[in-house]
Amino acid sequence: MALARISVPQESLPQAISSFHKLMQEADDQGVPNVSVECSIYMAEAMIRNHDNERARQELEHALQRADKIGLKPLSIKAHYLLGNAMRASGDELEAQQHYLTTTQMLDDMRKEPGSDKILQRSDFKTMYDEATRLSQSAGQ
């Protein structure tokens, strides 16, 4: 999965999507749902970069349901953030704003948990938090 996550050029996105799909199926077959959900989210992220926002939205909604069901908060947060990106790219600013607000709320809730007060020191969470905050505020104006 680490190799598939490496930043790929735009022309290689279909190949990356295919690789993530295969990895997701392998994880499902091996009974590793957390890896399957993570692959699903990365696949959807590649779909967004490939301007396939509708398929990305469907994939993210499915991944979000699975992440929530098995308690994978960090993956739920990423799914909400990417759903916001997919909705914004599709022109649905109101729905995008809702996902960005959920992203920031979930991160704020995680920060309140014992031992998690420094969660925003992780660069991925900090980037999502800052962008989601900025985009939810600009959409509300």
| DSSP string computed for 11-76 | GGHHHHHHHHHHHHHHHHHTT-HHHHHHHHHHHHHHHHHTT-HHHHHHHHHHHHHHHHHHT-HHHH
Task: With both helix axes pointing from N to C terminus, report the angle between 53-70 and 73-89 in degrees, rounded to the nearest 10.
Answer: 160
**Do the beta carbons of residue 62 and residue 40 sit within 8 Å?**
yes
Position with higher pLDDT, 12 vs 91: 91
Confidence of residue 140 (pLDDT cuts 50, 70, 90): low
Q: What is the pLDDT of residue 115?
A: 84
The residue extents of the domains of the chain are 11-139
Segment 71-126, tens digit of pLDDT: 999 999 999 999 999 999 999 999 999 999 999 999 999 999 888 878 889 999 99
CATH code of 11-139, in short, is: 1.25.40.10
DSSP 8-state class, residue 6: S
For residues 81 and 99, give the distance between their C-alpha atoms in angstroms, rounded to a whole number: 6
- Least confidently predicted of 7-16, 33-42, 101-110: 7-16
What does the block give as tokens for 57?
């939205």
Confidence of residue 10 (pLDDT cuts 50, 70, 90): low
Q: What is the pLDDT of residue 11?
A: 64
pLDDT at 7 over 90: no
Q: What is the pLDDT of residue 6?
A: 52
Segment 47-76, tens digit of pLDDT: 999 999 999 999 999 999 999 999 999 999
